[in-house]
Amino acid sequence: MTNKHDEEEPHYLLDSNIVSELIKPKANFDVIKKIAEHTSDCAICAPVWQELLFGLYRMPEGLNKKYLEKFIVDDVHENFKIKNFTEKAADIQAMLRARLERIGKPTQKDDSMIAAIALANHMVLVTRNAKHFEPIQEVSELQIENWFE
């Protein structure tokens, strides 16, 4: 795995359901292989970082929590840039939500935030939940890949 401080901007924005595959005892081999092949070209975003930490913080104390914390800090944080929710992303999210509301397909706030960060950074969103993002694709140029397929 390469360091997150490499010069080139990442091409793939990983959703939490992709990142969490790295720690599962029976992880999907294809997903792990794709992440390994593209590590230097992958990032996560602040909302995904929050989801990972929330999952960690709500766990009871013990070995599993220590193992997960080490994984999040040593592997995720060290290997993936974290893309922030910027002013540009906020503008894109507001536009997405307004367009979706207009066509009667309001979307979940977190999904539209993640999609907006991908769009603001010209990135492909990698998620297992492509269906959640289909309405957003109807009103934007959002590109999605599902590495489980």
- 40-75 pLDDT per residue, tens: 999 999 999 999 999 999 999 999 899 999 999 899
pLDDT at 6: 45
Of 122, 128, 124, 96, residue with least CA distance to 109 = 96
Q: CA-CA distance, 11 to 60, in Å (whole number)? A: 35
pLDDT at 7: 55
